[in-house]
Amino acid sequence: MDLQLASFIAAGVLVVVGLYGFFFVDNIIKKVIALSIIENGVNLTLVSMGYREGGYAPIYLPTLKFQLFSTNMAYPLPQALVLTNIVIGASMLAIMLALSVVFYKKYKTLKTSIILKED
């Protein structure tokens, strides 16, 4: 099995585990962690899509011939998308954890079944 296929399988496992945790766990903090796991699975998928076997990092070096570099470099767009997704994910994680603190202060619990019943 090659590295790219193994990365896709690992990303799929991460997304499935995260979806299970999000839909079937009753704790808000665990749901936040599950969403973070889904995000990591998506990031791994994007990085795996940009992978090229034996390729160079998308940084041009003056000693490298341009034709060789352009045909063998990894795709830079998925790497840029992953960096953007990491920044967005970190800020969303902070917001979700802050909302979890607010829910705990208001309801004195983190169970979603109790929080949703008290409206």
Where exactly are the structural domains of the chain?
A: 3-117
Taking residues 83-91, report their average pLDDT: 96
Measuring CA to CA, which residue among 36, 15, 27, 41 is closest to residue 95?
A: 36
What are 104-112's contacts with CB under 8 Å, separation 24+?
110/27, 110/28, 110/29, 111/26, 111/27, 111/28, 112/26, 112/27, 112/28, 112/31
Report d(CA 41, CA 11) in Å as an integer: 4
CATH tag for 3-117 (out of 1.10.287.3510, 1.10.3720.10, 2.40.170.20, 3.40.50.300): 1.10.287.3510
Q: Which two tokens stand for residue 101?
A: 């603190």
**pLDDT for res 69:** 73
Taking residues 106-115, report their average pLDDT: 93
Measuring CA to CA, which residue among 49, 109, 31, 61 is closest to residue 85?
A: 49
119 has a pLDDT exceeding 60 = no
Select the more confidently predicted residue: 57 or 37: 37
